[in-house]
Amino acid sequence: MVAQLGCPQFFLTLSSADLSWPELFRIIGQQSGRSMTDDNIAALSYDEKSSMLRNDPVLSARHFDHRLKAFFKDVFVGASALD
């Protein structure tokens, strides 16, 4: 890649840690009429969490997008405030 395009200026790889986001499971639970506490979410197995995410991929993707935008807003706004 470097030989063809030159040295990259900026490269970032991000991935979702959606199995560790209790607020996402709380939202998914609300959509299905379940009120979930942090203890309920912590007690869910890997398979149960995965199933919940698979059943609502659009909500999962939108939540990731929201978190990504918030991250960039905090990073870039925070950096300009330091100047």
Q: Which two tokens stand for residue 24?
A: 């996402």
> pLDDT tens-digit profile of 8-39?
787 778 888 899 999 999 999 998 888 999 99
Burial-class residue 28 by CB neighbours within 10 Å (0-12, 13-18, 19+): buried
% of the chain beyond a pLDDT of 70: 92
Domain count, the chain: 1
Enclosing domain of residue 46? 20-81
| Domain membership flag for residue 52 | yes
3-state SS class at 56: coil
pLDDT score at 80? 52
| Domain membership flag for residue 13 | no
